[in-house]
Amino acid sequence: MIAFVQWKGIEDSRFVSIRINPSKQQLAFYLKNEAGMYYNSIQNLKNGLARQHKSLVFATNGGMYMPDHSPQGLYIENGKLIKHKDTATSGYGNFYLKPNGVFYINAKREASVCKTEDYTSSKQVMYATQSGPMLVIDGAIHPAFKQGSSNLNIRNGVGILPNGDVLFAMSKKEINFYDFANYFKQAGCKNALYLDGFVSRTYLPAKHWTQTDGHFGVLIGCTEMQKKK
């Protein structure tokens, strides 16, 4: 069952949000289809999973990407290292607003978000994507974010709740980094990671939010097996 996010008893209408238990729900990362072609869009992912008799119940873009749609930074899928961690100390764009971070899931189906510098490679990591900046770091909002900032954009991100559940959220309207990070902090996330900006899309039909377009690199999806008719 999919859980919808509530804190202080009120669902925040500024965001489309979902809470996922990675130990019980089928959460995975996707880059290319069986023919070796980038999925690019959520619709293509949905179609590809349907051929495997899987229904997509949630999806979002899973981090920044290069012009050829390859991941920008670390990417691991099904335990296979696709791209190494980006440890550059400076660069252009939000990815390099340090600290950036890594969202990963291990073989025990435990999910984590940590600063890139704290991430240690392991054969136990089944999925990983690097992005940036971190939104919440050890319970504190990223120090570079300013309350009342006029830097507004659509944003999506991921955080880890105190019970280990994964919180995904995308703003329905443009929002600044501080307010976006504060959503994860108020929800109880000790660590949260920014995934991307205005290009972001979320597919969550149970909440009547069905964006299936886009032209991405990494996609993150939650699936269930199709019911036999």
Model confidence pLDDT, tens digit, residues 131-187:
999 999 999 999 999 999 999 999 999 999 999 999 999 999 999 999 999 999 999
142 part of a folded domain:
yes
Query: Whole-number mean pLDDT of the chain?
Result: 93
Please tell me the predicted confidence (pLDDT) of residue 8.
45
CA distance 63 to 221: 13
In the numeric block, the tokens 């959520």 are attached to 42
Q: Which domain holds residue 200?
A: 15-225
CA distance 165 to 18: 10
92 Cβ neighbours under 8 A, 6+ residues apart: none
1 part of a folded domain:
no
User: What b/e sequence results for 99-123 when a residue is b if at least 16 CB atoms lie within 10 Å of its CB, and e otherwise?
Assistant: bbbbbbbbeeeebbbbbbeebeeee
Arithmetic mean of pLDDT, 88-114: 93
CA distance 102 to 14: 25
Whether residue 6 is predicted with pLDDT greater than 90 in this model: the reply is: no
CA distance 12 to 173: 12
7 part of a folded domain:
no
2 pLDDT tier (thresholds 50, 70, 90) = low
30 part of a folded domain:
yes
181 part of a folded domain:
yes
Per-residue pLDDT of 198-224, as tens digits, reads 999 999 999 999 999 999 999 999 998
Arithmetic mean of pLDDT, 27-48: 97
5 part of a folded domain:
no
4 part of a folded domain:
no
Please tell me the predicted confidence (pLDDT) of residue 57.
96
Whether residue 84 is predicted with pLDDT greater than 90 in this model: the reply is: yes
Please tell me the predicted confidence (pLDDT) of residue 93.
84
11 pLDDT tier (thresholds 50, 70, 90) = low
Instruction: State the total domains in the chain.
Output: 1
9 part of a folded domain:
no
